[in-house]
Homo-oligomer: A and B are copies of this chain.
């Protein structure tokens, strides 16, 4: 029978009633002829509680013990989901990561999936079991210890199972009903997308549309797993939600698919840096080691051996970034005249796979912003994305104007 993977996040299994609701969706797919692999998260709040206990017990915790503790929430949900399905006369059983076994690296609390042997679960399917409920987010290391995949790891678990079992699709049930052209709280004409390309989803996810863990989208792209995001709180059918898929599966496509934003950004400029080979490494090495998430980087034209280097980072990392730079200067690793921080900026991005074949997206974006009187502070571009930093107070206006100008309220 064709295998379908269904993943339910923490809010979708937050209590016994919601687990029952999720189980009904599973049962419907079984009745439609699928063997189903269900991946479950912990009940919402449980993992945070466990993480809190670990951190209070041991601030610099042994990650192996962290994993042993925090993985327990998923085990509870997996067992309860299997029991709920059995009550509905659906043959089901639960699997913990080590039972599958979902084999991972030894990088505790951020382990990478290495192999998912199919034998055990396939055998049960052959014996008439219709649903394998698997505890998400966890696996087993070569040393036989429990590992976790990092936050959001249940999405990655789901995609990995879909790849291993050649699933027809991987459905990610969550508390939103799909991926939107932009945030509906900012633009009420925001429209749910029926389909979106993997590459676009990656740009949107990393830009703040936090529907799917980035890693799971990368994995789906690599193994060509059809990934669908849909709501566990609505009646759903084959046309629900948003399908994340390969570009060639999207027939009609707007040039631009979505407008993303990030509100709390800061722009930092190192004035008059001594320009020499390796200077970028000398700057961004210390920043990375200090845990600063540098996003955009712009280097101005070099004049007389000195240049200005601008980068953006989350506004709450400005102090850390400044410390790292002052320290590097003191230790003669870099030389600059001044460090200027502008903590009052936001990032707005236009994303669309169509812009690879359509010129003029950038100039249209700049014209729209100019018409609204919005000054652009930094620009970066990639093949399918153009991002700008602007003054924070104009962020909503920019999103709305761009959404309108690129016709995102209307389907292609």
Contacts and interface: CB of A to CB of B under 8 A. Distances in A.
B93 A65 contact: yes
Contacts of A99: 144-145
B98 A83 contact: no
B82 A62 contact: yes
Contacts of A382: none
A58 B86 CA distance: 8
B86 A76 contact: no
A interface secondary structure, majority: helix
Contacts of A98: 98
Nearest to A19: B57
Contacts of A53: 16, 76, 80
Given A16-B56, A57-B19, A86-B58, A64 B93 contact: yes
27 contacts: A16-B56, A16-B57, A53-B76, A53-B80, A54-B83, A57-B80, A58-B83, A58-B84, A58-B86, A62-B86, A65-B82, A65-B86, A65-B93, A65-B94, A66-B79, A68-B78, A68-B79, A68-B94, A69-B80, A71-B75, A72-B73, A72-B75, A72-B76, A75-B75, A96-B146, A98-B98, A99-B144
A50 interface: yes
A223 interface: no
Given A75-B72, A76-B50, A83 B62 contact: yes
B69 A54 contact: no
A87 interface: yes
A64 B64 CA distance: 26
Nearest to A82: B65
Interface string A216-254: 000000000000000000000000000000000000000
Nearest to A64: B93
A58 B87 CA distance: 6
Contacts of A78: 68
A199 to B, nearest CB: 39
A228 to B, nearest CB: 27
Contacts of A146: 96
B96 A83 contact: no
Contact of A83 (B61, B73, B83, B144): B61
Interface in A82-115: 82-84, 86-87, 93-94, 96, 98-99
